[in-house]
Structure 1
Amino acid sequence: MKLKVVYIMFVLLFVLAACSAQSETDEQADNGQEVQQDNSVDEEQAGDEASKVDEDQASETDDEVKEGAELELPEEPLYKINPTNYSIQPIGEADPKVVLLTIDDAPDKRALDMAKTLKRLDAPAIFFVNGHFIETDEKRAILKEIYEMGFVIGNHTKTHANLKSLTEEEQREEILSVSNTVEAVTGERPKFFRAPFGVNTDFSRSLAEQEGMQLMNWSYGYDFVKEYMTKEKIADIIVNTELLSNGSNLLMHDREWTADALEEIVNGLREKGYEFVDPKSIQGYAD
């Protein structure tokens, strides 16, 4: 009888101990679940806060981009083209000691290199393109990249033919086909027209006016002359010629020697006190 009582008491103690352990385990599990839920809430809050920060930063970036885009164009033109000699004349209080950089026959071989050099040196320019150089996807991508770097794209006809040797319909095709392609690639039609060899006709003048393009020739250029087809010679003559003066409209081309000399040309002109006209500040560009 005594043994039976002892046995029963032992069983009861064992059961009570087991229940206590299970209760403690359940309590720990509950606590752990609550902690996990709390962490989940923290993560959601952190995610919301991070998302808000990202949105704020994106908004600030967008504002900066918009602000930068707004600063691209001056409220009023600062310069105009002299129709008699195609030099660049200041309007009002604009700095008179400037030159305009222009690059013809792009994008042939080195136009993108030239654009990158000018961009690095903060020197604006007009790239006058020929239609036969923008017929492939590769060349159109180069044209778009030059445009997106902030450079102005000008019209230099399709095949670089002398316009006086063409019929009016042929001239129309030479000019409009380039403007149409440039617009298709960049979203903007050219605002400047330079005829091959500087030779315009009554028809090309009239068509350029209808298209809202300013006629453009040049003050001087040398890189198409055999004597100056080296980096050293072309850099020296462009900077040191007696023809250099306030408002000079400088003609260069997409050529190896000119591309190699471009940084020296820009630095040399600046050392002489000249700065570079932004083509977007020329009268007629924003019309």
Structure 2
Amino acid sequence: MRNLLKWVTLATLLFVAACSTNAGSEANENGEQQTNNKKETNEVTDNQDSEETTDETSKEPKKNEEEEVVTEEAVTTEYRLNEAFWGFEPINDAPAEAVLLTIDDAPDKNAVEMAKTLKELDAPAIFFVNGHFLDTEEEKASLKEIHNMGFAIGNHTMTHSDLKTLSEEEQKEEIVKLNDLIEEIIGERPEFFRAPFGSNTDYSKSLAEEEGMLLMNWTYGYDWEKQYQEKNAIADIMVNTPLLQNGANLLMHDRDWTAAALEDIVSGLREKDFDLIKPEEIEPLQK
């Protein structure tokens, strides 16, 4: 009887021990699962936070890009061509006391020097180009240098011929061929056209319009006249002529004496309180 009680007691102890071990194992498994669940939950939260941060970050450059585009597209037109005197009238609140500087027959011997002088003076201008000054790589490089300094490039025909003496086909060769050449050199076509001697035809006018160029003549110029082929003489007449008026379109050429007088001309105009019109401020051709 005593032996039987011993065996029963021993069996009971073994059973209790076994239950305790299983409970501990289940508890450990449950604890590990809970820990793993917490880790997964934290990882999901971290991923969501990371994705939200990435999305917010990726949105910011888009906003900046949109703002930059708007800024680039905001072009202000300040002046309109008046063919009555081939000068410019202000639009809205642009100052009336302003003139446009233009240089014809570029890039001959002095154009790059003239562009550098104007650049130092922060004086805008249009350089009207002839194709016969673009025959060599050196001449093409000069045109590119002028353009890279920020100056507008205009079309002044291939050979500086009087368009009224040419056939329509020859006029087209003079104008369109030069536009093609200029685009090949600087990557863009001219927006302004000036006929040699101011001599236009109905066909050259329609062709300039077809090419998207604003047709220009000038208000006054003197540097081809013998008495003004000297620095002081040309500087004086360009600033003190009675033809100087609000919106005047000043014609100059790539000449030694004009290049030498250019700084004095700009300074003299500014001393008379004239602003200098930027080509990009001119109302483009109305199609």
TM-score, structure 1 normalization: 0.74
1:281 and 2:277 are equivalent in the alignment: no
C-alpha displacement at 1:76, in angstroms? 2.8
Which SS does the other structure have where 1:153 is aligned?
strand
C-alpha displacement at 1:80, in angstroms? 1.0
Aligned to 1:199: 199
How far apart in 2 are the matches of 1:91 and 1:171? 34
Structure 1 residues not aligned, in runs of 5+: 1-66
How far apart in 2 are the matches of 1:286 and 1:81? 11
Which SS does the other structure have where 2:100 is aligned?
strand
User: Would you say the 8 A contact 2:163–2:195 is kept in 1?
Assistant: yes
1:173 and 2:173 are equivalent in the alignment: yes
C-alpha displacement at 1:85, in angstroms? 2.0
Q: 1:202 to 1:225 in 2, by over 3 A?
A: same
C-alpha displacement at 1:104, in angstroms? 0.1
Q: 1:71 to 1:269 in 2, by over 3 A?
A: farther
How far apart in 1 are the matches of 2:213 and 2:132? 20
CA offsets 1:254-277 (integer angstroms, 9 cap, x no match): 000000000000000000000100
How far apart in 1 are the matches of 2:70 and 2:218? 30
How far apart in 1 are the matches of 2:107 and 2:69? 25
Q: 1:83 to 1:69 in 2, by over 3 A?
A: farther
C-alpha displacement at 1:286, in angstroms? 11
Which SS does the other structure have where 2:154 is aligned?
strand
How far apart in 2 are the matches of 1:69 and 1:265? 38
How far apart in 1 are the matches of 2:90 and 2:70? 22
Aligned to 2:268: 268
Aligned to 1:256: 256
Aligned to 2:222: 222
Q: 1:285 to 1:167 in 2, by over 3 A?
A: closer
Summarize the alignment of residues 63-78 of structure 1 with structure 2, pairs less than 5 Å apart.
75-78=75-78
How far apart in 2 are the matches of 1:224 and 1:234? 10
User: Would you say the 8 A contact 1:154–1:192 is kept in 2?
Assistant: yes
Aligned to 2:139: 139
Q: 1:77 to 1:154 in 2, by over 3 A?
A: same
Structure 2 residues not aligned, in runs of 5+: 1-66
User: Would you say the 8 A contact 2:209–2:285 is kept in 1?
Assistant: no
Aligned to 2:102: 102
C-alpha displacement at 1:71, in angstroms? 7.4
Instruction: Give the counterpart letter for 1:228 in structure 2.
Output: Y
C-alpha displacement at 1:83, in angstroms? 2.2
How far apart in 2 are the matches of 1:263 and 1:107? 19
How far apart in 2 are the matches of 1:90 and 1:136? 40
Which SS does the other structure have where 1:215 is aligned?
strand
Q: 1:168 to 1:119 in 2, by over 3 A?
A: same
1:247 and 2:244 are equivalent in the alignment: no
Instruction: Give the counterpart letter for 2:214 in structure 1.
Output: Q
Q: 1:72 to 1:259 in 2, by over 3 A?
A: farther
How far apart in 1 are the matches of 2:70 and 2:88? 24
Instruction: Give the counterpart letter for 1:176 in structure 2.
Output: V
User: Would you say the 8 A contact 1:105–1:253 is kept in 2?
Assistant: yes
Aligned to 1:117: 117
How far apart in 1 are the matches of 2:151 and 2:277? 12
Instruction: Give the counterpart letter for 1:102 in structure 2.
Output: T
Instruction: Give the counterpart letter for 2:174 in structure 1.
Output: E
Q: 1:162 to 1:243 in 2, by over 3 A?
A: same
User: Would you say the 8 A contact 1:80–1:89 is kept in 2?
Assistant: yes
Instruction: Give the counterpart letter for 1:128 in structure 2.
Output: F
C-alpha displacement at 1:281, in angstroms? 0.8
Q: Alignment RMSD, CA only?
A: 2.0
Which SS does the other structure have where 2:86 is aligned?
coil
Structure showing greater Rg: 2
CA offsets 1:123-167 (integer angstroms, 9 cap, x no match): 000000000001110000000010010000000001100000000
User: Would you say the 8 A contact 1:127–1:153 is kept in 2?
Assistant: yes
Aligned to 2:184: 184
